Amino acid sequence: MPVTVTTRVEEELAKIIDSIAKREGMDRSTVIRRFLLRAVKDWLIEKSLDEYEEGKLTLWQAAGKCGLSLWEMINEVKKREIHVPYTLEEMKEDLKAFE
């Protein structure tokens, strides 16, 4: 069930939103909802990848928190140039498995 959320924005931002709405053939509320959805999704990805980089989450867990597939999350890792939390000790263990 939708919930009404109100907020105040600067006049210049309201003008920009109205301009976008007119250009896209939408009303102001639709533009704001789309922007909010995009911003929240981006925030979730950023925070989940921070936790992944810190070793607090696996990539699979990070993807789940964001509602993304593993492949979509891998693409986000590449796009954002996230460093894989992979230690030298872990690499040595993995190499032992090949022997």
60 occurs within a structural domain: yes
1 occurs within a structural domain: no
For the chain, the helix, strand and coil percentages under 3-state DSSP, each to the nearest 5: 70, 0, 30
Its domain, for residue 83, covers: 11-98
Of the two residues 93 and 40, the one the predictor is more confident about is 40
CA 47 to chain CA centroid, Å, is 7
Phi, psi of 13, rounded to the nearest 5 degrees: -65, -40
Task: Give the mean pLDDT of 18-24.
Answer: 97
Phi-psi region of 6 (alpha: psi -120 to 50; beta: other; left: phi over 0): beta
2 occurs within a structural domain: no
47 occurs within a structural domain: yes
pLDDT in tens, 57-73: 888 999 999 999 999 99
**How many domains in the chain?**
1
Structure tokens at 67: 């509602």
6 occurs within a structural domain: no
5 occurs within a structural domain: no
64 occurs within a structural domain: yes
> Which pTM was predicted?
0.76
4 occurs within a structural domain: no
